[in-house]
Amino acid sequence: MVLTAEIKTVGIVGGGQMGSGIAQLALVSGMDVWLFDLDSNALTKATNSINSSIQRFIDKGQLSQEIGSGAVRRLSCTSRLEDLQSVDVIIEAIVESEDAKKKLFSDLDRIVKGSAILASNTSSISITRLASVTGRPNQVIGMHFMNPPPIMKLVEIVRCADTSEETFMTVKTLAERFGKKVICSQDYPGFIVNRILMPMINEAFFTLYTGVATKEDIDSGMKLGTNHPMGPLELADFIGLDVCLSIMKVLHAGLGDNKYWPCPLLVQYVDAGRLGRKRGIGVYTYEKVVEPKLSSRI
């Protein structure tokens, strides 16, 4: 088992916003990073995003020029999964699909060294089921970052049925090395954050669907009445309506309670391709896709 002090190289699978953000955290923490994505354009975009983000931290005086420059030099990008064979820890941040994640974990299990830990950034999928396709279930764990990872302070760690204490402590210490506050969840649908957040977002859709109020008043009510930085519908657009729907389906199937039934309006929007900010239209329409300065894509 690799210990936290021995973690020198981290593999990140997925060059999207979450993957690039997690890669940045590892880089500025002094680790070498292999960032994998099949799409070379995604890797180029991720590299530019990481460089720009690090420079912003330097400009704000939150990161030294020396650390920032060193971090950029430690990033390697690849579209060959085999290049991850010698990393100490893998953090997976691909599409929220159980089948896709299982296929990836099965492939990684054959490729990476025996001591490597396999961590998933999944926001709702069972870690136990992901671990079941590997020959190292004791070294599989959930490491759920909030979005954007360089800004949001929380990491939700999820132990599967077989996660060892050594794996848990290594990943917990790693998250703390990234400067994060750790909360721990058992491996139940939605874990902690999404078990609470997604039903609230779903209820906001029901409130809109049944004509209780306008989308603007629903969001204003939660921002001004409960001090949320974003309203639930605005937040859903930022997260991605397809992601929200996927998590609600996991909650509904896994917990078997009709209170987790996805709102028909949410389903309709996803069917129509109205996925939120990433598509320029969701609950709201966006002339320009701009991420909020402080938000929480789960």
- Bridge partner residues of 78 (DSSP): 36
Q: Could you tell me the pTM of the whole model?
A: 0.89
pLDDT score at 2: 56
Over the stretch 56-79, which tens digit does the pLDDT of each residue have?
999 999 999 999 999 999 999 999
Binding site for CoA, residues?
53, 60, 123
pLDDT for 30 beyond 60: yes
The yes-or-no answer on residue 48 being catalytic is: no
Q: Quick one: CATH architecture of 9-186?
A: 3-Layer(aba) Sandwich (3.40)
- The residue annotated as part of the active site, out of 20, 49, 120, 123, is 123
The yes-or-no answer on residue 123 being catalytic is: yes
Question: What whole-number distance in Å separates Cα of residue 96 and Cα of residue 278?
Answer: 16
The distance from CA 247 to its chain's CA centroid, rounded to whole angstroms, is 13
What CATH number belongs to 194-279? 1.10.1040.10
Task: Kindly list the domain boundaries of the chain, sorted by start residue.
Answer: 9-186, 194-279
pLDDT score at 6: 80
pLDDT for 292 beyond 90: no
Residue 150 near residue 71 (C-beta atoms within 8 A)? no
- The residue annotated as part of the active site, out of 20, 92, 121, 156, is 156
Binding site for NAD(+), residues?
14-19, 37, 96, 101, 123, 147, 278
Binding site, residues?
14-19, 37, 53, 60, 96, 101, 123, 147, 278
The yes-or-no answer on residue 156 being catalytic is: yes
User: At 288, is the pLDDT very low, low, confident or very high (cuts 50, 70, 90)?
Assistant: low
pLDDT score at 295: 37
Q: What percent of the chain has pLDDT over 70?
A: 95
The distance from CA 48 to its chain's CA centroid, rounded to whole angstroms, is 19
pLDDT for 1 beyond 70: no
Consecutive H or E run containing 184: strand 181-186
